[in-house]
Structure 1
Amino acid sequence: MALPFRLESTETDRLLALSDGVIAIAITLLVLEIHVPTIPAGNPAAVLSAVLAQQWHEFFAYVLSFLVIGLYWVLHRRVFVHIDRHNRGVLWLNLVFLLFVAFLPYATSVFVTYPGQFGVAFYAGVQALTGFSLTLLWGYASRKHLVEAGLGSRTVEIQAARFLVSPLVFTLSAIVAMVDPTLAIASWLLLFPLNAVFESRLVTSLEDSSVESENQPH
């Protein structure tokens, strides 16, 4: 009976296929929330450019959500690059992560429809929960020693910090939104430089771990 379970714990193809499918559908649904405006009869076609300009917040929400979901996909891929095997805990935590990813198009729609305090805070809150669920998945896998043996503890910690960057920014913005929604939206721009900094540190740590592994006697 041990053999089937061992085979199951190392089989990740279906898990990754489901994850990639849910993420791809969520990204696709984002663009479906952008509606083509209707020009009233009798108005010149030149009015269309002005009407499209009024939809700037819809385009902004689409691009932002696309990039953030794309970032979560990159981080999710990295989780399973370093995971050697999994258990039921990993499976269920991965499903929790996908639950929030699948909900992001709705959160984006709420933000587009109500871009005030509630809409901004709601959107930021869902984004934060999505990021925290992925962080929890990584933390669980590393604590249960499901990650590859050559991965140093410092690399694991930097990776965890990298996962926390986005949800912490969104959590802060959700709080700020209660006072100033515009400032909360502007704070989302911090996502890009902060993620770039931690990505640089992570790459350096991975390179150092690789050099140390090569220098160890076999």
Structure 2
Amino acid sequence: MWSSRPEGEPQRLLALVDGVFAIAITLLVLDLSVARDLDPAAYRAALRELLPDLGAYALSVVVLGSYWRDHRRIFRDVREIDGQVISLSMLGLGVAALVPFPTRLLAEYGDQPVSVAVYAGAVAALGASHLAVAAVLARRPRLRHDRPSETARTLYLLDGATTVVVFLVTVPLVFVTGPRIMWGWLVLVPLRVHLGRRLQARG
């Protein structure tokens, strides 16, 4: 599994990735429900209680959707894969399939630092696996149809590393600042927009 020898085209791996991400996103919504036969007051209270679940669901859909898109972008010009690419991709898929669990922790115990730390650690691990795949492919132009420029490759790796660092730093800091540090994740929006524009400009 850790061989650097080419092991064929990436289509089957991409199909597996699509399936795992689709299932992971579907699992996020399974716990969203409201009891039947509630009176109006209880119904409104149930909807209010559902807000943290909806917030955690939306956050994880954005996270998984973003990493699914990044994975497709990484493999856009790949013509062959090897054992290392497969192993790192499988590691990432394992983490992606796990995301519904920390999402549930965040929804039900979002006021607990441990829940935020577990969620941030899972997202950082998912990002690190994607970053590792991108780094391996960048070092092996023989696996690609077209080799990206040095600047574009650096910008893409910097984009991925930024997300990993932000979520990874959250893990220890949440025990100092409390769960409100989650708002710091919003810093990724302007950072990724800026890096994305620069990357797009480089083709």
What TM-score comes out, normalization by structure 1 length? Answer: 0.84
Q: Distance in 1 between matches of 2:84 and 2:78?
A: 13
Q: Deviations over 1:35-61 (max 9, x none)?
A: 324676xxx323312321122211110
Aligned position for 1:47: 42
Q: Work out whether residues 128 and 166 of structure 1, in 8 Å CA contact, stay in contact via their aligned partners in 2.
A: yes
Q: Distance in 2 between matches of 1:109 and 1:21?
A: 21
Structure 2 counterpart SS, 1:179: helix
Task: Say whether residues 1:21 and 2:16 are aligned partners.
Answer: no
Give aligned pairs, total: 197
CA distance in 1, matches of 2:173, 2:28: 25
Identity of aligned residues (%): 31
Q: Is the 8 A contact 1:37 1:52 kept in 2?
A: no
> Which residue of 46, 71, 87 maps to 1:92?
87
Partner AA of 2:164 in structure 1: P
CA separation in 2, counterparts of 1:184 and 1:55?
22
Higher relative contact order (CA 8 A, sep 6+): 2
In terms of mean alpha carbon deviation, does 118-127 or 185-194 score higher? 185-194
Show the counterpart of 1:196. 193
Q: 1:167 to 1:39 in 2, by over 3 A?
A: farther
Structure 1: how far apart are the matches of 2:140 and 2:46?
A: 54
Amino acid at match of 1:91: I
Question: For residue 183 of structure 1, what is the aligned residue in structure 2?
Answer: 180
2:129 alignment partner in structure 1? 133
**1:176/1:26 CA distance change after superposition, 3 Å:** same
1:69 aligns with 2:67: no
Shift of 1:190: 1.8
The structure with more radius of gyration: 1
Amino acid at match of 1:136: A
User: Residue 122 of structure 1 is aligned with which of 118, 123, 128?
Assistant: 118
Aligned amino acid, residue 166 of structure 1: T
Give the superposition deviation at 1:176. Answer: 2.1
Ranges in structure 1 where 5+ consecutive residues have no aligned partner: 207-218
Could you list the runs of 5+ residues in structure 2 that have no partner in the other structure? Answer: none
Counterpart of 1:156, as a letter, is R
Deviation per CA, 1:67-126, whole angstroms, max 9, x where unpaired?
A: 010000110000100323211111111101101000001111122222111001111111
Within 2, Cα distance between the matches of 1:150 and 1:92? 22
TM-score for the superposition, normalised by structure 2? 0.90
1:198: how far off?
Answer: 1.1
Contact kept? 1:176, 1:183, Cα under 8 Å = no
Letter paired with 2:115:
G
Residue 216 of structure 1 corresponds to: none
